[in-house]
Structure 1
Amino acid sequence: MRTRRREGDVPEPRSRWDEITTGLWMGGHVWADGERDHQDVVVDREFDLVISLYTREGHGPSPGVEHRVVPIPDDWLTAEEIDRVRRIAEVAADAVRGRRRVLVRCYSGYNRSGLVAAQTLIELGHDAPGAIDRVRLRRSPWALHNRAFEEYLLTGLDVASLLTGLEPPAS
C-alpha cells in the first residue's frame, strides 16, 4: 500500500505538533526547526492517546500510552478507509470530551492527520468549512492540501463512503 505522496515544494512543518482545539493535537513524524532541515519527532508521554495514521519504528509513544495505529494512504481512499477515518475520529472526539490529551499524527502532520483532526472537530460540533479552516489556522496553511481529503470533509464522510463504494455500471 502506498502510504505517502511526494510532497514536492511543500515545506516540512515548523513544529512537532500543534493544538487544534483544547485536548486535540495534530502533528507528524518530522519537522524543521529553522536551524536544521529535518528532525524526527518522537512522542513520549505528552499525550493520553496517540492516533498514528502513519508509523515508524522508534517514534513512540512510550509504553503505557494508548496508541491506535490506523494506516491510511495520503491518496484517494476506499470506502473502507473512509469508514476507518470516521470511526477513529469518533474515538478521538470521545477522548477529547473525556478531557484526555489526543495527538493525531501522520508523516508530516498535514493531510492524513488533518483529515482525522477536522473530522474530530466535526464530531465535536463544528461545521466542515469551519473545521478545515481551524486545522489550517492552528497547524499550517499546508494542512489538508490533499484536495480529495478536503472534498471528503465537505461532502461528509458518510456520503463520501457511499459514493466511493458504488460499483461502476456493467457494460
Structure 2
Amino acid sequence: MLLIGGGWRFGEGSAVKARHGIGHTERHWPVEPWNRIEPGLWMGGHLWADGTGTVHRAVVTEEFDLVISLHSSSCHGPAPSVEHLVHPIPDGPLTAPQLGRVIELAAVAADSVRDGRSVLVRCLNGYNRSGLVVAQCLIELGLDSAAAVDLIRARRSPRALSNDVFLQYLTTGLDIAKVLSSLDTWA
C-alpha cells in the first residue's frame, strides 16, 4: 500500500484498466477520493484521477467509523473493523423500495454524524448516488434541498448531483417521490 497525505491509502499500481476507460480518459473523474461535506460527513467514490488524469482506486481502510456504499467493488475496503452498509442502487430512476432505502441510509448517516461519528457515503464516481444520500442526510440535519445541493457541489464537485431525476426527488422530497414511485406515476 502507498500512503498518501492525510493517512489515505491507495494500492500501489492501482490504476484501473480498460473496463473503466482507464489511464488517461475523457471521463470526468473526481480529483480526490473523498471530500468533507460537513464535519463528520464525507462523500466519495471508488475511483479518482490524479493530476495527470490517471485513474486510481479509492481504498478505504480505517479513516471512517461508518462507510455507506451505493456501489460495490472488491478491494476498496473498508477494513473489517469499520461498519459498512452496502446497498447498490442505479444511477437513474429508483423504485419505491430503493427510495425507501435511500431515506433509511440518510437517516443512519445523520444519526451517526449527530453522535460524533465520521461517515463516508460513496458510489462509483462520488457524484450522484452518494450525492442523493448525502443531500438527504443534510436535509435530515436541517438544510433545505437547494442548500444541500449547493453545499455538495461546493465541497465535492460542480459535477455532483448532475442527475436530473435525483434533483427532482430532492426538490419534491424523497418521501413524496417514494409514494409517487409506488404509484408508478413518477417519470
d(CA) in 1 for partners of 2:26 and 2:140?
A: 32
- In the alignment, structure 1 residue 157 sits paired with structure 2 residue 166: no
Aligned mate of 2:165, from 125, 148, 168 = 148
Deviation at residue 167 of structure 1 after TM alignment: 4.3
Structure 1 9/157 Cα, relative in aligned 2: closer, same or farther at 3 Å? farther
Aligned length: 162
Corresponding letter in the other structure for 1:81:
Q
Specify every segment of 5 or more residues in structure 1 that has no aligned partner in the other structure, as ranges.
1-7
Partner of 1:62: 79
Corresponding letter in the other structure for 2:86:
V
Deviation at residue 35 of structure 1 after TM alignment: 2.4
TM-score between the two structures when normalised by the length of structure 1: 0.91
What per-residue deviation string (whole Å, max 9, x for no partner) do you get for residues 92-142 of structure 1? 000000000000000000000000000000000000100011011100000
Q: Secondary structure at the match of 1:19?
A: strand
Higher strand proportion? 2
- In the alignment, structure 1 residue 134 sits paired with structure 2 residue 159: no
CA contact (8 A) 1:10 1:142 kept: no
The 5-angstrom pairing of residues 1-171 of structure 1 reads 10-167=27-184
What per-residue deviation string (whole Å, max 9, x for no partner) do you get for residues 8-30 of structure 1? 96510010100000100000000
Partner of 2:12: none
d(CA) in 2 for partners of 1:33 and 1:10?
A: 13
What per-residue deviation string (whole Å, max 9, x for no partner) do you get for residues 59-98 of structure 1? 0000110000011100100011011000000000000000
How well do the aligned residues superpose, as a CA RMSD in angstroms? Answer: 1.5
Percent identity over paired residues? 56
The higher relative CO (CA closer than 8 Å, separation ≥ 6) is in: 1
Specify every segment of 5 or more residues in structure 2 that has no aligned partner in the other structure, as ranges.
1-24
Corresponding letter in the other structure for 1:93:
A
Corresponding letter in the other structure for 2:48:
W
d(CA) in 1 for partners of 2:147 and 2:42?
A: 17
d(CA) in 2 for partners of 1:58 and 1:106?
A: 14
d(CA) in 2 for partners of 1:102 and 1:138?
A: 15
CA contact (8 A) 1:43 1:60 kept: yes
